[in-house]
Amino acid sequence: MAYDTSNVFARILRGEIPCKKVHEDEHVLAFHDIAPKAPVHVLVIPKKPYVSLDDFTREAGAEEVGRFFKAVGDVARKLGVDQSGYRTILNTGGHGGQEVPHIHAHILGGRAIGPMVMTR
Ligand code: AMP
């Protein structure tokens, strides 16, 4: 699947639409989810254009993948949910329920998040 440069996170990265930023460095951006499902709901994205976890782990090297996952943990600590605990979710593709085609890790916390698989 080719990367769609008009997706909402690409537009955030280009500064075309605002976000509530939590962290930014050369490689990643973290910002609050616009429709939070928990008291803490933050999205962490690499700045490079990868569609999904599948695309990312096909195309990126171990160092880049590792750097991203380290950033997710760093952001969770910055949010102060590391002691109480949190859930990370990476939805991938259709069956995974991925809506935005730029890889993102959800960090959910601030209360017990409940059963692992959410039904609706
Ligand atoms: P997913 O279903 O894993 O692709 O999740 C996409 C997430 O992006 C959802 O939780 C949305 O609420 C969130 N989202 C969509 N648009 C924005 C936006 N402009 N700023 C922040 N979060 C957004």
118 lines ligand 1 (CB under 6 A): no
- Give the single-character DSSP code of 5: T
Q: What is 8-109's CATH number, 3.30.750.24, 3.40.640.10, 1.10.760.10, 3.30.428.10?
A: 3.30.428.10
Question: Between the CA of residue 14 and those of 6, 95, 101, 103, what are the distances in Å?
Answer: 10, 29, 15, 16
Summarize pLDDT for 77-107 with one digit per residue, the tens.
999 999 999 999 999 999 999 999 999 999 9
pLDDT band at 118 (very low <50, low <70, confident <90, very high): low
Which pLDDT belongs to residue 84? 98
- Catalytic residue ranges: 104
Which pLDDT belongs to residue 119? 64
22 lines ligand 1 (CB under 6 A): no
Q: How far is the CA of 3 from the centre of ligand 1 (A)?
A: 17
CB 60 within 8 A of CB 49: no
Which pLDDT belongs to residue 78? 98
Q: Which of 8, 13, 44 to mutate to test the pocket of ligand 1 (most atoms within 8 A of CB)?
A: 8
Please report, for the chain, the start and end positions of each structural domain, with discontinuous segments joined by +: 8-109
Summarize pLDDT for 38-76 with one digit per residue, the tens.
999 999 999 999 999 999 999 999 999 999 999 999 999
Q: Give the 3-state secondary structure of residue 44.
A: strand
